[in-house]
Amino acid sequence: MNALASTNRNFRHAARLLNLDSKFEKSLLMPYREIKFECTIPKDDGSLVSYVGFRVQHDNSRGPMKGGIRYHPKVEHDEVNALAQLMTWKTAVVNVPYGGAKGGIGCSPKDFSVSELERLTRVFTQKIHDVIGVNIDVPAPDMGTNAQTMAWISDEYSKFHGYSPAIVTGKPIELGGSLGREAATGRGVVFATEALLADHGKSIKGLTFVIQGFGNVGSWVARLIHERGGKIIAVSDVTGAVKNPNGLDIPALLEHKEKSGSLSNFDDGDMMNADELLIHECDVLVPCALSGVLTRENAGDVKAKFIIEAANNPTDPEADEILSKKGVVILPDIYANAGGVTVSYFELVQNNQHIMWDEEKVNAELKKYMAGAFNSIKSMCRTHECNLRMGAFTLGVSRVAQCTLLRGWGC
């Protein structure tokens, strides 16, 4: 099942629990706007190359639409549409005043020079500048993009609309970015994990963790769990997988990855088959990579007691059912990885007020938002007698539905 079908299925289940009218349900599911366009740039050698770009704006009933821009070969319409919809429910779950959007280009960033990436980003911005804005749609970094990408977007946008630092979030500190934003998604994952474990009478300290993905999110999750006394026994990324039953030395692994660009040949661990990482014995499994990694083929072999969805859509619906029957507790993506968009909201607040918070305040506010959202999800679970995924979906969908009705639907 692809990402869009999976997301639609979860939405419809939540809509039934909420007893939404079928026409209203269809309206909530329908994107506000979908854009597909060509991005053609000259390469450094003078040749021309073209790529397909997307921006899907799903819903704006609760505020400006918000969502990342990813550069990845697998970027395509259905994936972007699903991720835009997830952003709508995600922003509602953590109760920040945004709607949902997503965008990207189907390309491989590692195949570009820095100057080529800049040209591609500026062309992308030229194609969407008239449908984004501080009060319309605010992009942010995602897979394959970063603060520098946001700086280029901000600069290109300013050529058409004047200086507008709040047009993007996740930008460099020097250009109005927020302290703590780089670590925000990973830190939010850890705050969410702490809330879940506390609800089960446990804490991070002493538990074993397996982390799939060691990019921005995965590396911050690993670092923060390690600092809290958690034992990370296996980690993987596109370069390989490494394990140590006694716990990996995460600071040393981060240094090794920074120097070598790979997890391979790490002295304090043994290489393992990356395909076996998801079914490795552990207390907590944290998928931080691509969608659809937990499927009906491998779900039955998963040994973790808790799964924290730091990635978007990592669990297929079939796998979800299998894992639930096994008693595995899954913390859903629309809550678990909402730290990034929450701190993006803090960044926008700082831009609008022309002030800068210190990092301690950013982290404290993030913890408060994540704790509050978890309590709200648990309340929905009790009301609808459902699991955490449906608790999160019913919470997000109900908040969007309420705002849509208050603004006047069907008129």
Residue holding tokens 């981060």?
254
117-147 tens-digit pLDDT? 999 999 999 999 999 999 999 999 998 999 9
pTM: 0.94
| 406: Cα separation from own chain's centroid | 28
Encode 18-69 in three state secondary structure: CCCCHHHHHHHHCCCEEEEEEEEEECCCCCEEEEEEEEEEEECCCCCEEEEE
Task: Read off φ and ψ for residue 343, nearest 5 degrees.
Answer: -75, -25
DSSP letter, residue 241: E
253-298 tens-digit pLDDT? 999 999 999 999 999 999 999 989 999 999 999 999 888 999 999 9
Quote the pLDDT of residue 297. 95
Quote the pLDDT of residue 60. 97
Please enumerate, as own/partner, the contacts of 329-332 that have beta carbons within 8 Å and a separation of 24 or more: 329/196, 329/200, 329/305, 329/388, 330/306, 330/387, 330/388, 330/389, 331/192, 331/193, 331/196, 331/306, 331/307, 331/388, 332/388, 332/389, 332/392, 332/393
Q: Which residues are catalytic?
A: 102
Coil, helix or strand at residue 293: coil
Give the side-chain half-sphere CA count within 13 A for 169: 28
Q: Exposed (0-12), middle (13-18) or buried (19+): which is 298, by Cβ within 10 Å?
A: middle
Which is nearest to 94 in space by CA: 397, 402, 334?
A: 334
Q: In which residue ranges of the chain is pLDDT below 70?
A: 1, 410-411
